[in-house]
Structure 1
Amino acid sequence: MTDSRLSFKEMCARFDVTPRTLRYYEYIELLAPEKDGRARFYTPREVARMTLILRGRRFGFSLEEIRQWLLIYQQKGTQPQLQEWVAMADRQLQELGAQHQSLEAAIADLRALRDKAAADLAKLPPPT
């Protein structure tokens, strides 16, 4: 094995993912490791793809969106892929902004209800 390839176990450890996750990403064609018998080896290309996959998941993209975006590079090259990335990022930023506003409203409501309950509790006589 060359130094530039990672074993299945090393890939799991490097990205802190389960073997099941890694096999699933291969099954849905997000990753295509080299195979030597039953052993899988991950090249720098696969390491870079895994980095992009996990980053995309962190930003809230679906695995299918990530798969389609990665496919653009294979089929059309860098410029169309970057154009699609900007469009995807714009859509996701809008979605995350809406979720952020909703979450802030829920936090404010919960805080107000908690403060009211604490005030009501303070007015009650101590338990006997």
Structure 2
Amino acid sequence: MSTPEPARPRGEGEASVQGIQDVAQELGITLRTLRFYENEGLIDPQRVGNRRIYSRREVARIQLILRGKRLGFSIREIKEFLDLYDADPEHQEQMERLAARVRERLVDLRKQRDALDLTIAELTTIERDALAYLQRTARTG
């Protein structure tokens, strides 16, 4: 008697599938993170019984989510990009919005960098003045 084949993910044919623990370990994230992404509608793993099964497509989506987070995009923005990707087979609208959001993010990051440069310069001056004071008082004391 042969064992039944595991259920295949939607639209994946012979694509490999992984359980939630394997995906979490592979991507270096927690099970809670995966469940959060599912609750937010960012991913939709297939279920076999009470187990979540992740296709290559879902793992790729998770990698895109993680990249978006690393680049400073909000969950809402990431969801918008993913939804556009699914809705627009030519990906034209997605790319236009992505380019606009990236430009906005670059402006924000450059402002933050300028503020950090100013803070670093101020702290460097304070440190230099403090060290000079200590050297003067050490010679006279």
Give TM-score scaled by structure 1 length.
Answer: 0.90
Q: Are residues 1:81 and 2:94 paired?
A: yes
Q: Does the CA contact (< 8 Å) of 2:88 and 2:94 recur in 1?
A: yes
- For the aligned residue pairs, the C-alpha RMSD in angstroms reads 1.9
Q: Are residues 1:32 and 2:48 paired?
A: no
Q: For residue 101 of structure 1, what is the amino acid of its counterpart?
A: D
Q: For residue 97 of structure 2, what is the amino acid of its counterpart?
A: E
Give TM-score scaled by structure 2 length.
Answer: 0.82
Structure 2 equivalent of residue 20 of structure 1:
32
Structure 2, unmatched stretches of 5+, are 1-5, 7-13
Task: Tell me the distance in 2 between the aligned counterparts of 1:43 and 1:82.
Answer: 24
Q: Does the CA contact (< 8 Å) of 2:18 and 2:54 recur in 1?
A: yes
Q: Does the CA contact (< 8 Å) of 2:15 and 2:55 recur in 1?
A: no
Task: Tell me the distance in 2 between the aligned counterparts of 1:13 and 1:55.
Answer: 17
Q: Deviations over 1:49-107 (max 9, x none)?
A: 11111111111110110001111122233111111111111111111111111111111
**Structure with the larger helix share:** 1
Number of equivalent positions:
127
Q: For residue 98 of structure 1, what is the amino acid of its counterpart?
A: K
Any residues of structure 2 matched to 1:34-73 within 5 Å, and which? 34-73=46-85
Which has the larger Rg? Answer: 2
Structure 1, unmatched stretches of 5+, are none
Percent sequence identity over aligned pairs: 35
Shift in Å at residue 4 of structure 1?
1.3
Q: Name segments (4+ residues, structure 1) moved above 3 Å.
A: none
**SS of residue in 1 equivalent to 2:29:** coil
Structure 1 equivalent of residue 138 of structure 2:
125
